[in-house]
């Protein structure tokens, strides 16, 4: 079945905006702050890739595509959109308005392939913190922003659990940044995979400790229900029991196994039925467009026409039959305690001591105390193996002087005073340390990679105490710290009846073509 994008746009233009209400978290559930009804996420992942023509990876910067897709998602029953990657330097007004008018809110990942914690060699520095703040600044103004996800499957097995300490630190800092700079509360959470060796530890890790560093919600990317399975056979029952006493909202941040196609989505009846609604707040189906991995609900042609795939029709049928029974906010007063933090074991090695908040001022102060710094040459030079010379120089220098003040250890919970500074700043620290030790006229040479400078200040012992900058990220900063590439919600009864009737008629005609 093909749908003309032009006709869809015309039909959509006749619609009136939904009246969107804030969604708040109370205990383990989401609630509409006006109707006081419990809110269940009926979401879809949205990251078109096959139709990109300009190397862009931001689906919320394509107004025409958003206006085309929004009414189709609304017809599907969608109320939340999960997007994994955006460019905060681009304009998103039109797309966000299209989804708002369709009654759809945004669940946005702030970590991207270019700006995220590297699970194999985790670090959390100034540039990453600035990139995250840029995304928060760009999207916090929109009424239909639901929440941010600070990390997606960063720790994905028992070999890289120390990376979770860095993710949790970034989650803590983004929560604090929002609280101090934004006019409303916006939840920040984490999305995990379903690894059998770490699933218990990681859910507790992001929910333990001081409140400021706890995730506001926890998502699970769960693909255990394949084909015509059941609540018991699929593993959904076991996962539900594991979260039965969790103290924060949980939902399926991805679901929709495609080992059997077309997908029948029989799990929808369980997800929004009595077996799961007391624990889970709904879920996000993966994904909207058909890509190489074959999870699509629709196929977008180069002409802009949309092919409705069997998965869309099957999901629509299941969603239309779902009617989750929630509780009223004022009648819900259950308070659950956060769990103890998981101990270090063979499978779990993330320290409860988190990295410090990156401070650009601390790094600048450190550099201004130097007599020897890394020159421009070290940044542009490339080593024989194709690796940056700055990386090889750091490795070399760490063999001759102490790197204690610039390294991080997420397992031991040990973080140097300048561990969040840039690679060049770290190399400057090491060059200066060695130069002071040598005290010769050529001690800052380093084959041209070092440069002698006159210190501008003499208070290195106080530099690490300088707090992070909470002002908006400047254009100069975002040029080097932005992704290039992942609470409010709505009561969807706010559309005028006359407009509803007209739009339903037009869309019905389109879908029957």
Show which residues are catalytic: 153, 254
Residue 281 CB contacts under 8 Å (≥ 6 apart), including other chains: 29, 30, 38, 39, 40, 41, 217, 249, 250, 251
DSSP symbol at 481: S
- Contact call for residues 195 and 156 (beta carbons, < 8 A): yes
DSSP symbol at 388: B
Q: How many whole angstroms separate alpha carbon 407 and alpha carbon 473?
A: 25
Q: How many whole angstroms separate alpha carbon 155 and alpha carbon 223?
A: 17
Q: Counting beta carbons within 10 angstroms of the beta carbon of residue 36, is it exposed (0 to 12), middle (13 to 18) or buried (19 or more)? A: middle
Q: How many whole angstroms separate alpha carbon 85 and alpha carbon 46?
A: 10
Rounded alpha-carbon distances, angstroms, from residue 103 to 35, 178, 393: 15, 24, 53
As given in the structure block, the two tokens for residue 302 are 């180069």
Nearest to 118 by CA among 83, 162, 82, 87: 162
Q: How many whole angstroms separate alpha carbon 326 and alpha carbon 178?
A: 29
- Contact call for residues 149 and 45 (beta carbons, < 8 A): no
As given in the structure block, the two tokens for residue 332 are 């819900």
Nearest to 136 by CA among 93, 188, 99: 188
Residue 395 CB contacts under 8 Å (≥ 6 apart), including other chains: none
Nearest to 372 by CA among 437, 273, 476, 444: 444
Q: How many whole angstroms separate alpha carbon 3 and alpha carbon 5?
A: 6
Q: Give the chain's radius of gyration (CA, Å).
A: 25
3-state secondary structure of 509: helix
Strands (DSSP E) contained in 396-483 are: 408-409, 414-415, 450-452
Q: How many residues does the chain have?
A: 513
């Amino acid at each position: 079945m093909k749908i003309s994008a032009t006709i869809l746009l015309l039909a959509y233009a006749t619609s009136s905006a939904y009246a969107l209400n804030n969604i708040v978290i109370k205990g383990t559930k989401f609630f509409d702050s006006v109707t006081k009804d419990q809110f269940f996420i009926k979401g879809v992942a949205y990251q078109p890739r096959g139709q990109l023509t300009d190397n862009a990876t931001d689906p919320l910067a394509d107004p025409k595509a958003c206006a085309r897709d929004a009414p189709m998602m609304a017809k599907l029953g969608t109320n939340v959109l999960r997007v994994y990657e955006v460019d905060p330097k681009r304009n998103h007004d039109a797309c966000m308005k299209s989804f708002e008018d369709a009654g759809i809110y945004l669940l946005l990942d702030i970590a991207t392939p270019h700006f995220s914690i590297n699970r194999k060699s985790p670090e959390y520095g100034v540039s990453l913190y600035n990139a995250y703040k840029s995304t928060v600044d760009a999207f916090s103004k929109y009424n239909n922003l639901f929440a941010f996800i600070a990390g997606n499957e960063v720790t994905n097995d028992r070999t890289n659990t120390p990376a979770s300490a860095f993710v949790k630190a970034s989650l803590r800092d983004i929560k604090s940044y929002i609280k101090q700079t934004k006019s409303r509360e916006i939840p920040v959470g984490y999305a995990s995979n379903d690894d059998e060796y770490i699933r218990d530890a990681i859910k507790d890790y992001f929910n333990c400790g001081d409140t400021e560093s706890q995730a506001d919600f926890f998502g699970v990317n769960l693909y255990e229900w394949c084909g015509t399975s059941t609540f018991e056979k699929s593993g959904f029952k076991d996962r539900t029991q594991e979260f039965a006493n969790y103290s924060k909202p949980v939902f399926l941040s991805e679901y929709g196994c495609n080992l059997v196609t077309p997908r029948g989505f029989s799990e929808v009846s369980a997800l929004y039925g009595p077996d799961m609604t007391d624990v889970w707040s709904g879920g996000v189906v993966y994904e909207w467009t058909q890509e190489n991995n074959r999870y699509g609900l629709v196929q977008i042609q180069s002409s802009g026409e949309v092919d409705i795939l069997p998965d869309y029709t099957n999901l629509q049928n299941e969603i239309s039959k779902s009617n989750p029974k929630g509780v009223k906010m004022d009648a819900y007063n259950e308070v659950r305690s956060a769990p103890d933090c998981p101990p270090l074991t063979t499978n779990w090695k993330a320290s409860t001591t988190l990295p410090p908040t990156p401070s650009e001022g601390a790094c600048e102060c450190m550099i201004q105390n130097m007599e020897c710094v890394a020159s421009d040459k070290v940044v542009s030079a490339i080593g024989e193996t194709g690796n940056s010379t700055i990386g090889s120089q750091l490795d070399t220098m760490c063999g001759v002087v102490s790197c204690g003040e610039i390294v991080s250890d997420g397992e031991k919970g040990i973080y140097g005073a300048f561990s969040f500074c840039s690679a060049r700043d770290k190399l400057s620290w090491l060059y200066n340390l060695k130069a002071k030790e040598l005290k010769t006229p050529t001690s800052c040479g380093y084959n041209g990679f070092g440069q002698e400078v006159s210190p501008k200040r003499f208070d290195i012992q106080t530099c690490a105490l300088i707090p992070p900058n909470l002002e908006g990220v400047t254009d100069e900063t975002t040029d080097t710290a932005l992704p290039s590439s992942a609470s409010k919600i709505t009561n969807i009864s706010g559309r005028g009846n006359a407009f509803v009737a007209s739009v339903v008629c037009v869309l019905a005609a389109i879908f029957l073509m």
